[in-house]
Structure 1
Amino acid sequence: FITWEAILKIYHKSDNTRPLLILQQISFDWVFSFVFLIFYSQSIAKFYIPP
């Protein structure tokens, strides 16, 4: 998952001509982790809560 240190390292490594690519990568990682948490919580709820 994403930490601010990783974001700052990626930002400092890159030149200023590629900020949109970095933002797209960060947003994609956030969306992926968010969807993963949704599916994970739903599977846990199905497993623990009796019908």
Structure 2
Amino acid sequence: MSQRSEQAPAVSGRPVVRMRDVAAAAGVSVKTVSHVANGTGQVTDATGPVRV
């Protein structure tokens, strides 16, 4: 089994942002991020405003 790098490779000089990176920053699960990205499932606004 191969090991995953903690840092995603850069594409065109920009870092790759993975769903798990977004989930960690938002304090939600990867499944929740997937639901939002794909427009599936029921996701509430309970997490509050997004802070960057």
Fold match, TM over 0.5? no
Structure with the larger helix share: 1
TM-score (norm 2): 0.25
Structure having greater relative contact order (Cα 8 Å, sep ≥ 6): 1
Structure with the larger strand share: 2
**Structure possessing the higher radius of gyration over alpha carbons:** 1
TM-score (norm 1): 0.25
